[in-house]
Structure 1
Amino acid sequence: MKKTVTETLHDGVQLSFAVEEVLHEEATGHQRLQLIRNRRFGKVLLLDGAVQVTSADEFMYHEMMAHVPLMAHGDPADVLIIGGGDCGLAEEVLKHRRVKSLTQVEIDASVVDFARQHFGEFNAPVFDDPRFSVEIGDGSAFARETDRRFDVVLVDSTDPAGPGAVLFTREFYGNLKRILKPGGIAVTQNSVPFLQKNEFVAGFGALASVFPVARPYVVAVPTYFGGFMTLGWASDSEQALQVDQKTLEERAAGMETRYYTPALHQAAFVLPRYIADLAEKARKGV
């Protein structure tokens, strides 16, 4: 029998991956890091036993987190990523020619170094791009203290537990609002509502309490078991949500994607009823 690694997602639910090969294991200063190879998902990165990214389906999550706000914004010159240590999200952001600077704030330098070594198939271009810079530090503290302002902020966080919990709070979202330029957009990882109902309601509720415009949108990622994952869109303006498909198609011309399309961009905001109901509950603070 092959060795397996098992992720305990939620009470009563576990997800196991057969291990073809253990590629790396270490305890960093912040978390336990494992890299395995699985027949279906390729390289699988786990932090503290929770799957973070796989080489087979990373493009689904990263494309939708990056391209939906960047295409909608139209002129995203200055972009900030909080988290995202595997640098797959940075790869997608840097496909946009209008991006002049991309700053990534990651708390664990070991994750960035590790990803550069092991996930070069999707992140190698990032480290050669002069627009890209990494700051090792606490993303919540950066958002609280920086004097810089950004067109788009992307929060590629772990789930709301342990060190990642602060990135789902009203205080943190208030700091995101502070560092956005007028008309800027923030997008956050907002959990899998079918299995993380309470987490979704708390996180999206906090986001909606801070930003005048807050909408969840969905992406299907096989790794993140339990149906649709939601991403939280937040801004001070409705304008970017009203960009038509023709304009999106013009902005996307020549860009290679495997998940994102302008039509899917608009469809992603059409929610299944159970998610729409939870979003309404979150807005009411129930």
Structure 2
Amino acid sequence: MSQIASSPQNRLALAALLIGGIAIGGSPIFVRLSEMGPMATAFWRVSLALLPFLLMSQTTKQGDEQPSGLRDYLFLLLPGVFLACDLGAWHLSLQMTSVANATLLANLAPVFVTLGSWLIFRTRITPIFLTGLALALIGVIVLKGGPAAIGGGQLAGDATAIVAALFYACYMLSVGRIRSRFSTLRIMVWTTFSAAVCLLPIALFFEGSVVPVTLFGWAMVVGLAFICHVGGQGLVTYALAYLPTAFSSLTLLLQPVVAAILAWLLLSEPVGMMQAVGGLIVLAGILVARRG
């Protein structure tokens, strides 16, 4: 830690990393307090976030190649489809299970990324990763109260959060395939646009109204879009330019902790002993798997 924060630039990056992780960790609170349904909230999250991305793309020289042909545009749009599925499933899980469970299980995405890399790209899987995977699965069982409680009432919500993690892994893998050709900003514009287009008809079909009717409702979606999606992700992205990726990835472990604390303070969601122990085991499993 002392070596990472040795220079003023690195100290600024470390502060950005921590603030960004905390900002992202607050996103489930905005979703829970939103006066709209989970799909409509997800739509506003990406559609409002698209505005600063478009502004930056118009004022920043990107220096990457221009997309040419239908194939390139499809590759740029595909991650947004996965992102829409991820946000829709995760926002839905927040209505079906506790904030702590939904946020924690959604952070299994790095595990699915590695499994997907092995299945699709034949990336080698190390014994350390398998150990972390086993540890994370044990933690999920403990989180639910042991094998006897696996059929509990929140099981559907927990399963939906895991589905969200699977879709986010697909998003990360698809972005990884096009990142060598296109800039981060170009990818963010196209994927955010694609996610908004996918989420709008789903929100209209299942929830009807997609427009907040009160000032508080607008405040929740604006906060979700600008504080969590643009601000949080932007600060973490800035920090990645100066800090080791392995160290920066620890923000994934910070987010469920922040979410659980905020849910306890603002939503009166208690964290039981079994849930706390299971959560710590899952976090340890994710950390070990990422090192592997």
Per the normalisation by structure 2, the TM-score is 0.26
The structure that has the greater radius of gyration is 2
**Per residue, is there more helix in 1 or in 2?**
2
**Per residue, is there more strand in 1 or in 2?**
1
Structure with higher RCO (Cα < 8 A, 6+ apart): 2
Per the normalisation by structure 1, the TM-score is 0.27
